[in-house]
Amino acid sequence: MSLANTDNVSKSTGKQVSWQIKKAVTGNIVPIVFTLLCLVGAVIAEASPIFLLSSVIIRLARNLLLVFSLIIPVVTGLGLNFGIVLGAMAAQIALVAVTHWDIGGLGGFALAALLSVPLSIVFGWLTGKVLNKAKGNEMITSMMLGFFANGLYQLLFLFVLGGIIPMVNETIMLPSGIGVKNTVSLKGIKYALDDVLKIGYETLTIPVFTFIVIALFAFVIKFLLQTKLGQELRCVGQDMNIAATSGIDVDRMRIIAVILSTVLAAWGQLIHLQNIGILQTYGSHEQVGLFAVASILIGGASVTKATIGQAVLGTFLFHLLFIISPMAGQNLVGEPQVGEYFRAFVAYGVIGVSLGLHAWQKQQAKKHMLEE
Amino acid sequence: MSEPILQLLDISKEYYGNKVLKNVSLTVHPGEVHALVGENGAGKSTLMNILFGMPVIHSTGGFSGQIIFGGEQASINSPKDAMEKGIGMVHQEFMLLPGFTITENLKLNREITKHNVVSKLLGEKLKSLDMEAMRKDARKALDTLGVDIDEMLPVEGLPVGYKQFIEIAREIDKENVKLLVFDEPTAVLTEMEADLFLKAVEKLSASGIAILFITHRLSEVMQVADNITVIRDGEVVGRLTREEATIEDMARMMVGRKIDRIEKAKKIHNGSQENILEIRNLRVDMPGELVKNVNLDVKKGEILGIGGLAGHGKIGIANGIMGLYRASGQVTFKGEKIKLNNPKDALLRGMAFVSEDRRGIGLLLDESIEKNIVLTAMQVQGKFLTKFFAGVNFADSGKIRGHATKLIEELDIRCTGPEQLVRRLSGGNQQKVCIARAITLEPDLLFVSEPTRGIDVGAKKIVLDLLLKLNQELGMTIVMTSSELAELRSICDRIAIIYDGKLEGILPPDADDTDFGLMMAGGHSDKAKEVS
């Protein structure tokens, strides 16, 4: 009996080690797969590393805060908040206002940041209200909410501005005087934040100040999650029932999470647009949710778990892939149009693949539990 | 003896005219360990729900009787009232967050906080957590229980035993606890963990906390309880002190009830030597009914009963074999291994299943009786279909109607006709529709889970008679899972008792009450007589 026992033990430790390796791989399967994809893509694209690096750095500065804005709702158990599109809209409304008043520079940027806060709080509150009615289906609900809000947004910019609210400004408005132009130049606030402090080296530019601001927000998010408020948010995220029985106001916490996310997203969109310098009035916000979600998923975050580190890694990999894939596509097929197709393909494909991989991961874990 | 901390006087409670508690009285003194023993459905949980002011009690018309706590008449209208008075409850299912550390769980929403720069400006909610102080408190509570575990470990992945201790630690960390209620605390523990737990209970009671201990592990009762109250069918049937109690007495009191055995006319030689089904190392991941390792043979032509207390996995067996929950192990049916996790395979090989979840997965409630009856046979076996071209099939409504009408008559389903919606039928008649569907498959082996759950007394007998008839006249092998021992004993040839996800033993239906009681409570199976 005892012999059989020891035999069993040694077998199980051997199994343990191989399981641990397997677990490390399956646990990080998403970032691993995408890192490999990036490597293969980079080889095919034959891109110079310095070019890739400089492109990715610019895109990191542009997008990180938007991706960060997804973390709090995930921690609170709301899944990936596609509703950050509403935050982006708030930012764009503020930007159009600032541009209309012709306030430029860092002051204009700060004013836009300030203006977007009340707007995004209201949007976030409304989103939170809706999501509380749709517990368990937050992701698809927030996505649809984004599409719905887009309709209202278009109504505002196409008819209400100039049509109902008088607004005279030749550079922004359509020639008819009703509705805002398709593209609005943001030259007043272009690089407002980036230009405070940046380091250039040959073709490489690093917007240091923007990165400092982003790091500050990362710190704020970390700090928030360590306070009593954060503890309650995390508690709600893990189990709404247990949270409720221990006296936490679940609905309120969820609304707070969505509001924080929406405000962060608004500021994230401002940082994004000050770098790009052009507002696509009817398009800039549309892909915001999609790209941010794709980024954080690539970093290994899931519907239930997301960290700052995953957001940074994910944004890096996603945008690297985003830059590489059209080049690789062109090198493979020799047709620039194919490259564009590859971009869209990558963004949607990434979400599909990483959600699929996460589901697979969960299944593996479950299977293992049964075998144990 | 000192002033009692808790007195329950003449507590009665009705659910929809059904008396579940009849004048139950109970007294607990500080520092006493009082065991409340009884079968499932005896009324233990209802009593505790009353003590805890659970909403379910007040939404169903309240209760009669008095609760006196700490010498004063107490009205407890919500769990919060109970907690404020100093009644702590350790739940059967864990209220723990897997991603939090032990300390965080212990202090859930009672976190110790301290000010930081931001919180001074923006308010209480932004205070930092004083993890060091929380840690100390957690350590203290865990030490009180004698648990040597790092208080900063995450709860996820801890053995169930530790989770139980964390639950208890959380209760004793609350400052004013005077009475602790444990609802089957050792049900999920291994023997060693249970020992540790019982030691902790002794420590707690030595510190003056009264403990009300609900369980059906009788050996544990003997180990720690000072006084024992046995309830059955909502009535107190025995009050014992530890000195006068014996396990056998308690087992008899717990189970004892008259059994009406439906005598069989032995037409078929039941219990032939041939195994129709062999189950080896079956594990089923059914939440709340985990099957851990079951080995069981079913003999051709018999009615095998599967009994046991709720949560021990008896329900999981049939669900696992039929592929409704993830299962692993080896199941051999008529000499061939079946594919697990594949309901179609199980059905095709000639097994059928009447689920315990009649309204959930057993029936299409908004479809007609006839559709419900033929559905599985149509889907799996391709019966009741007219074939036009290869692959294009239509339901053969004539055949369906004929078959349904025949079964409605045979099983005596009370309805307005085969087109009536199943939702409108009574529980007993719905159950008959389920059985009708199962026998439409013409199975060799029929699994029936909780066939009489939620149906009235008269209909119960009809359903049981029907099962017996199927067995006797058609020679169908039946495996019946039920929480009601009396019902198993009335028609089964052998009764397998499942305890803690494993087979505890097999008894003949006319075995002693004490044996059944002992087995269901995980008592030592050496007393069991194997029936061959």
Nearest of B51, B134, B125 to residue B88 by alpha carbon: B51
Nearest to A228 among B97, B100, B111 (CB): B111
Nearest to B97 among A224, A239, A366 (CB): A239
Cα(A189)–Cα(A105) distance, rounded to whole angstroms?
5
pTM value?
0.71
Q: Would you state the pLDDT for residue B167?
A: 86
- Token reading at A269: 């969109």
Fold exhibited by the domain B275-527:
Rossmann fold (3.40.50)
Residue B188's pLDDT band, with cuts at 50, 70 and 90, is low
> Is residue B160 within 8 angstroms of chain A, CB to CB?
no
Query: Residues B437-491: pLDDT tens digits?
Result: 988 988 999 999 988 776 666 677 788 888 888 888 888 899 999 887 888 888 8
Task: Nearest chain B residue to A244 by CA: give it.
Answer: B109
Percentage of chain A with pLDDT > 90? 48
> Is residue B91 within 8 angstroms of chain A, CB to CB?
no
Chain B residues whose beta carbon lies within 8 Å of the beta carbon of residue A227: 113, 116, 118-119, 125-129
Most confident among B12-21, B264-273, B291-300 (mean pLDDT): B291-300
User: Is the model's pLDDT at B278 over the cut of 70?
Assistant: yes
CA distances from A162 to A102, A154, A174, A369 (A): 17, 13, 9, 62
Q: Would you state the pLDDT for residue B531?
A: 40
> Is residue B96 within 8 angstroms of chain A, CB to CB?
yes
User: Is the model's pLDDT at B377 over the cut of 70?
Assistant: yes
- Token reading at B6: 């808790």
> Is residue B129 within 8 angstroms of chain A, CB to CB?
yes
CATH fold match for the domains B6-95+162-255 and B275-527: yes
Residue A6's pLDDT band, with cuts at 50, 70 and 90, is very low
Nearest of A203, A214, A229, A184 to residue A72 by alpha carbon: A229
Measured in angstroms, the CA of A247 and the nearest CA of chain B are apart by: 7
Residue whose entry in the numeric block shows the structure tokens 């009489």: B452
Query: Residues A149-172: pLDDT tens digits?
Result: 999 999 999 999 988 888 888 888
Chain B residues whose beta carbon lies within 8 Å of the beta carbon of residue A238: 97-100
CA distances from A235 to A310, B83, B294 (A): 21, 21, 37
Residue whose entry in the numeric block shows the structure tokens 């999470």: A257
Q: Would you state the pLDDT for residue B515?
A: 83
Mean predicted lDDT score pLDDT of chain A? 87
Residue A5's pLDDT band, with cuts at 50, 70 and 90, is very low
CB contact under 8 A, A227 and B126: yes
- Token reading at B14: 């009705």
Ranges A212-226, A239-253, A342-356, B196-210: which has the least confidence: A342-356
Nearest to A227 among B79, B100, B128 (CB): B128
CB contact under 8 A, A246 and B108: yes
Cα(A367)–Cα(A22) distance, rounded to whole angstroms?
13
User: Is the model's pLDDT at A256 over the cut of 90?
Assistant: yes
Contact between B484 and B221 (Cβ < 8 Å): no
Domains and CATH numbers, chain A: 38-371 (1.10.3470)
Nearest to B129 among A224, A231, A371 (CB): A231
- Token reading at A9: 């033990």
> Is residue B287 within 8 angstroms of chain A, CB to CB?
no
Cα-flanking dihedrals φ and ψ of residue B304, to 5°?
Answer: -100, 130
Give the residue-averaged pLDDT of B27-49. 84
Indicate the angle between helix axes A336-371 and A29-45, nearest 10 degrees.
160
User: Is the model's pLDDT at B390 over the cut of 70?
Assistant: no
Write down the domain spans for chain B.
Answer: 6-95+162-255, 275-527
Q: Would you state the pLDDT for residue B1?
A: 53
Does ipTM surpass 0.90 in this model?
A: no
Q: Would you state the pLDDT for residue B154?
A: 87
User: Is the model's pLDDT at A148 over the cut of 60?
Assistant: yes
Residue A305's pLDDT band, with cuts at 50, 70 and 90, is confident
**CATH number of the B6-95+162-255 domain:** 3.40.50.300
> Is residue B25 within 8 angstroms of chain A, CB to CB?
no
CB contact under 8 A, A247 and B109: yes
Residue B262's pLDDT band, with cuts at 50, 70 and 90, is low
Nearest of B461, B481, B478, B480 to residue B470 by alpha carbon: B478
Q: Would you state the pLDDT for residue B200?
A: 83
Of A192 and A20, more confident: A192
Q: Would you state the pLDDT for residue A251?
A: 92
CB contact under 8 A, A226 and B104: no
Nearest of A45, A37, A123, A36 to residue A84 by alpha carbon: A123
Tally the C-alpha atoms within 13 A of residue A233's C-alpha that lie toward its C-beta.
30
Give the residue-averaged pLDDT of B203-208. 85
Q: Would you state the pLDDT for residue B460?
A: 75
CB contact under 8 A, B99 and A224: no
Of B306 and B91, more confident: B306
